[in-house]
Structure 1
Amino acid sequence: MNWQDVAQALFGADHAIRQNGLFLHGTGQLDGQPITVLGTTGHAPIGVQLALQQARVVLDTIAQQPGRPILLLIDTQGQQLRRRDELLGINRAMAHLGMAIDLARRQGHRVLGLVYDQALSGGFITSGLIADACYALPEAEIRVMRIPAMARVTKLPEAMLEQLAQANPVFAPGVDNYVAMGGVRSLWRADAAGALAPTLRAALADTPVRDVRAADGAARGGRRLAADVIAQVLQAP
């Protein structure tokens, strides 16, 4: 689904979202309430410029519209793999974006992520995974690493990783596996009229402000040990 269709499903004609290159920014109206919208399109690689553009919108919202909800529309192939961005400090720019989103949450802004197309690697980690909660459309694609790349990094045979992926969501790409692990809170499905506004409305009302991903992963069987390990660390002297 392209971003225009997503915006229509979320807000109808009541939005002022604009595309500037691969960067999306603007506002939408839900039940008369303005929502800051930002994100990317075209499977955007997140480089220094895109990271700073998104962070600027978040910081401007904090300064100028206290408490306004923020919606991140996510479609990215991950970080920009280019010498120029490495020399300019892409790691610091992406960290700045993540810290801006975290600051918004701490200042009382409800921040939601929606993967509407593709979410890969660092471009996803520093956006949707730092929001209060991340949601996805059923047709979205989410992964950190393809199994062939995972095999090269871990030095394990692809056949072994393919077998592990059948039973363990941690090894498998796909939006359903991220739901099972708790990284994606739920899938947003349009209603009979094709609208996503009801799911956005429910998420703004019901999304917890504390991080419950590990607990969700344990309850769903996708991450069986993370919640217990976190609890033990918190209890350690």
Structure 2
Amino acid sequence: MDWNLLASQLFGDEHGIAREGDFLHGTVVFDGEPLAVIGTTAHAPIGVQLALRQARAVLDAMTHQPGRPILLLIDTQGQQLRRRDELLGINRAMAHLGMCIDLARRRGHRVIGLVYDQALSGGFITSGLIADACHALPEAEIRVMRLPAMARVTKLPEPLLARLSESNPVFAPGVDNYIAMGGVRRLWRGDLAQALREALADASPRDRRAEDGAMRGGRRMAAAVVQRVLDAG
């Protein structure tokens, strides 16, 4: 979905969200209360500059609007694959973005992620997957690693991974599989404003992903392992 159409459905035509290149930002009024919007568009590759701009927007929200809810609009092809960004430390810039989002949650900001188009690789890991909860539109495309890349990393044959992906969501891309694993809390259908309203009401700094994954059958062991570690500590 086009970001402007999405914003209009959520906040009305005079939403006040601005686009600067691939960067989206602004403050909207939702149900009579201000809400900060930070995001990306046009399948943005997340390089050092874009990661730091998003991080700066999160820090500004914490500094100037303590406690204000934050909506992350996600449309990214992942990290910028460019030598310049690697030399400038793209890994550290993206880690900084993730830590800023985590700090906002710890300081009482409700942070909601929404994948409205595409979410790939590190650009998704350091944004929507760190929010209190990540949601998605039904037509969104989500994956962290393609099967050929996964085969190179795991040293497992790609045909084997393809077979595993048919029954195990951990190996498979797609919104439905991320819902099964708990990475995506809900799909937003129909009244998007009502879906946002419910997401804000349900937001909690307690991470429920492993529990959701166990309940939905997509990650059967994660919650149990986490609990064993907590009990041992």
Q: Same fold judged by TM-score > 0.5? A: yes
Q: Give the equivalent residue in structure 2 for 1:81.
A: 81
Match among 211, 222, 226 for residue 222 of structure 2: 226
Q: Give the equivalent residue in structure 2 for 1:51.
A: 51
Q: Give the equivalent residue in structure 1 for 2:187.
A: 187
- Structural mapping, 1:126-205, within 5 Å: 126-191=126-191, 196-205=192-201
Q: Deviations over 1:55-113 (max 9, x none)?
A: 11110110101111000000001011111111111111111111111111111110000
Structure 2 counterpart SS, 1:26: strand
Structure 1 counterpart SS, 2:6: helix
Q: Give the equivalent residue in structure 2 for 1:95.
A: 95
Q: Decide whether the 8 Å contact of 2:106 with 2:205 is kept in 1.
A: no
Q: Give the equivalent residue in structure 1 for 2:232.
A: 236
User: How far did residue 207 of structure 1 move?
Assistant: 2.2
Which AA in structure 2 matches 1:141?
E
Flag structure 1 segments of 5+ consecutive residues without an equivalent: none
Question: Given the two structures, how large is their TM-score scaled by the length of structure 1?
Answer: 0.96
> Which is further off, 226-235 or 157-166?
157-166
Moved over 4 A (4+): none
Q: Deviations over 1:148-179 (max 9, x none)?
A: 22222222222211111111000000000000
Structure 2 counterpart SS, 1:203: helix
Flag structure 2 segments of 5+ consecutive residues without an equivalent: none
Structure 1 counterpart SS, 2:190: coil
> Which is further off, 154-163 or 23-32?
154-163
Q: Decide whether the 8 Å contact of 1:24 with 1:39 is kept in 2.
A: yes
Structure 1 counterpart SS, 2:73: strand
Q: Decide whether the 8 Å contact of 2:111 with 2:203 is kept in 1.
A: no
Q: Give the equivalent residue in structure 1 for 2:4.
A: 4
Q: Deviations over 1:30-57 (max 9, x none)?
A: 1111110011001111010000100111
Paired residue total: 233
Q: Distance in 1 between matches of 2:120 and 2:174?
A: 11
User: How far did residue 206 of structure 1 move?
Assistant: 1.2
Which AA in structure 1 matches 2:190?
A
Q: Give the equivalent residue in structure 2 for 1:107.
A: 107
Q: Distance in 2 between matches of 1:64 and 1:24?
A: 18
Q: Distance in 2 between matches of 1:108 and 1:218?
A: 27
Which AA in structure 2 matches 1:223?
R
User: How far did residue 14 of structure 1 move?
Assistant: 4.2
Q: Distance in 1 between matches of 2:104 and 2:152?
A: 38
Q: Decide whether the 8 Å contact of 1:14 with 1:29 is kept in 2.
A: no
Q: Distance in 1 between matches of 2:124 and 2:82?
A: 18
Question: Given the two structures, how large is their TM-score scaled by the length of structure 2?
Answer: 0.97
> Which is further off, 161-170 or 215-224?
161-170
Which AA in structure 2 matches 1:73?
L
Identity %, equivalent residues = 75
Q: Distance in 1 between matches of 2:158 and 2:83?
A: 30
Q: Give the equivalent residue in structure 2 for 1:210.
A: 206
Q: Distance in 1 between matches of 2:61 and 2:151?
A: 42
